[in-house]
Structure formats: structure tokens, C-alpha cells
Homo-oligomer: A and B are copies of this chain.
Amino acid sequence: MHSQLTHASLALSTDLVIYTARLVRSLRRNIDAPAGVRVLSLLDEHGPLGVTQLAKLDRCSQPTMSAAVANLAEAGLVAKDPSPVDARSSVVSLTHEGSNVLATQRDAWATAITERLRAHNRTQEDLATAVSVLRDLLEPDPMSGANRGTRPERI
């Protein structure tokens, strides 16, 4: 009935999905608000961007990004100015405060993660591998196609 994947494959994939979900929840619980920081991080990496560009880079819908940017702007972490070359578009850029918040948050995450991994005798190389695996999984167009044909019931 089911495909002939190895037991290990099934277990590892399931664990990956479950652990990532728990990790994300855990991060949210500590009010580390990853959603906003993702945007700050994108701006830091790419420089000023429009809302739609940000949405594409973060792989979310445009309305979701609009809301995220609005929140960040209200908090003073980004500036949202009209584009000088396109009246429809806006240019979102990091403010000093946004930059500081990003740095602080990055530091907090890195500290916690580094500490934890060391406590488990995990190397930075292991972390790099994990990040690469996650990046590869997100690459094409995330998990679409996972349900092709066999769409499982909604849980």
C-alpha cells in the first residue's frame, strides 16, 4: 500500500517535521517573534526592498508581508517610503533601531543555540549540516507535491 521507503527514512522524515514544529513553537513562546525578525534579516541581507519582493523572498503571501511590514514600521524597526520610481510601490528599509534589534536577537539565538549544542557535544559543522538540509528542503517550492494524488485527510 505505502511506498517502499526504508524504515529509517520514514522515521527521520517524521522526526524532522515534528521537531521543527516544536522548535518553532518554542521560539514563539519566548516571544522571539521570528516573523518580524525574518523580515529584518532579509532587509539586512538584501538592502531596501518592496513588499512583494520581501514576500517572495520569505515565501509568504503578499498580504502576510504587508501586515508584517506594517507592524515593524509601527514599532519603528523599518521605514516604509514610497518608491521614487514607481508610485504603486514602496521601499522598506531597516532603521537603526531595527538593525539593533536584529543584532540583539541574532545574538540571543546564537548564544542559546551554541550553548545547547555544546552541551550535547554537537559541532558547528553539525549545525551547518542541519542548516543546509533545511535550506535544501525549502529550495524548489517547499513541500508542494508532497500530497500529489494521495492528498491525506486534513487532521
Which residues from chain A sit less than 8 Å from chain B, CB to CB?
2-3, 5, 8-10, 12-27, 29-38, 40-41, 58-60, 71-72, 75, 77, 101, 103-114, 116-117, 119-120, 122, 124, 126-140, 142-147, 150, 152-155
* Smallest CB separation, A24 vs chain B (Å): 5
Tell whether, in the assembled complex, residue B116 and residue A137 are in contact, meaning their CB atoms are under 8 Å apart: yes
Complex: how many Å from CA A8 to CA B124? 9
* Smallest CB separation, A31 vs chain B (Å): 5
- Partner pick for A136 among B12, B108, B117, B129, CB 8 A cutoff: B117
Contacts A/B (CB < 8 Å), 8 sampled: A9-B114, A13-B113, A18-B37, A30-B146, A33-B155, A108-B152, A120-B139, A122-B136
Complex: how many Å from CA A132 to CA B121? 11
